[in-house]
Chains A and B, each alone.
Chain A
């Protein structure tokens, strides 16, 4: 009996909270808020907050064209694999002291899972055989490589800082980090962690393909790059996973640096987390998105491997010396 009950609870986690349904609604809302804020910053009225939802449903109702030269299976499976990976990440990210699936080294799992959506998109784009997608996917690969180094350094710095405090090497468990923050206050207010936090915030636009790091999807020069051949439902799933990626990365930031705030009631904690996600989106992603123009791909690479990685490395060194 309890086996069935456990399975049902797990299914609830996967499908409702913090799994698919939560990701769908919150991701779309975040995306809508981001678009609205960018519009307000440019003195426009801006689309309604629910605009991403309208876009999603509209795309669901459109004809799906599969190019004749495309590999149909890869072409159609790629968006779904990417979305599934993002939902799985969400299950590992703690909301205050609640985690759906916890492990000893979930940071490493998250790090690898974060690659899958981008990789799936690359495979899907390669399967279409479109030259625009080809240019887009080569740029996307560079973007992944650029974002990967600072991300790893940030995770190491946070792990080391928490590990020092509780006396056990580098910590790779998000739950331990959350528990540590609940006792000792947020890591964001620790002087040695501030550069790492800034580095993580700067990787969010790169990972989600926002300005100025959207060379891979440049719609004005390479016809939206990897998405050039997609239409209808697969495109809707891609748009959804881009929105969910915003949620994943911001809630990962909240879990790593602002984890200590909560009440122990799941619903309230969920709302607090979402509120922080919105703050991060408004203060960082939307601001950068509205005020910059697109970087060239080699500028992007250089920026991430010098400035952002440098910031993360400073934190790592400080944490290593126990500051």
Chain B
């Protein structure tokens, strides 16, 4: 009984923790704008918290500089499971304009499992909102399956042929036995 409530609640109350990994501050301002009266992320339960131990979703912005890398990784480790990691802006995904700089060690996905990428420089608040909602769904999925790398089925994926679909089926069967 409580298990179902907990899974449902997990998707409904995702708390955000924002990590700045050398961002130019453009993305940070847009993240804050998501919480303003115009977009009001709190209506779906989002809340900006001050400590990584309280967070469910980590929003990373910036190209992950050499200086910030160990700190970012340590902060991400401190978030209790289930957790989602969201990259905000193009910087943590590709390096963006800072790419190939001597002081940049991105992309972030080289080091940790990233759940959602929000592209753009800076992404629009609507896009951030969309990404965060997706992260909240993934969070509930992770709680349900207990798998820390769980993803949602991709709605835009090309339809699989019968042969391609087969291995996936086998995999689920194996899981059931285990």
Q: Using CB atoms and an 8 Å cutoff, list the residues of chain A in contact with chain B.
A: 35, 39, 42-48, 51, 53-58, 60-65, 132, 218-220, 222-224, 227-232, 235
Kindly provide the distance from the CB of B126 to the nearest chain A CB, expressed in whole angstroms.
16
Is B40 interfacial (CB 8 A cutoff)? yes
With CB as the reference atom, state the residue of chain B lying closest to A222. Answer: B50
Question: What are the 4 closest A-B residue pairs judged by CB atoms, nearest first?
Answer: A219-B50, A57-B9, A61-B6, A63-B80
- Give Cα A48 to B76, complex, Å: 29
Q: Which of A44, A48, A58, A235 contacts B37 (CB 8 A)?
A: A44
Kindly provide the distance from the CB of A216 to the nearest chain B CB, expressed in whole angstroms.
13
Chain A residues within an 8 Å CB radius of B20: none
Q: Which of A43, A57, A65 contacts B80 (CB 8 A)?
A: A65
- Count: A-B pairs, CB below 8 Å: 94
Q: Using CB atoms and an 8 Å cutoff, list the residues of chain B in contact with chain A.
A: 2, 5-10, 12-13, 15, 37, 40, 42-45, 48-51, 53-54, 56, 78, 80-82, 143
Chain A residues within an 8 Å CB radius of B56: 58, 62
Q: Is the CB of B50 within 8 A of A47?
A: no
Given contacts A61-B143, A63-B81, is CB(A55)–CB(B49) below 8 Å?
no
Chain A residues within an 8 Å CB radius of B81: 62-63
Q: Is the CB of A223 within 8 A of B9?
A: no
Give the interface centre of B5, B50, B53, B78 by most chain A CB atoms within 10 Å: B53
Chain A residues within an 8 Å CB radius of B40: 39, 44-46
Q: Is the CB of A219 within 8 A of B2?
A: no
- Give Cα A63 to B143, complex, Å: 11
Given contacts A46-B42, A51-B13, is CB(A223)–CB(B6) below 8 Å?
no
Q: Which of A35, A51, A224, A230 contacts B50 (CB 8 A)?
A: A224
Q: Is the CB of B53 within 8 A of A58?
A: no
Chain A residues within an 8 Å CB radius of B82: 62-63
Chain A residues within an 8 Å CB radius of B53: 65, 228-231, 235
- Give Cα A43 to B13, complex, Å: 21
- Give Cα A80 to B70, complex, Å: 36
Q: Is the CB of A45 within 8 A of B80?
A: no
Kindly provide the distance from the CB of B118 to the nearest chain A CB, expressed in whole angstroms.
22
Q: Is the CB of A61 within 8 A of B13?
A: no
With CB as the reference atom, state the residue of chain A lying closest to B55. Answer: A231
Chain B residues within an 8 Å CB radius of A44: 37, 40, 42-43
In the complex, besides A54-B8, A57-B2, 4 extra interface pairs with C-beta distance below 8 angstroms are: A56-B9, A58-B9, A229-B53, A230-B54
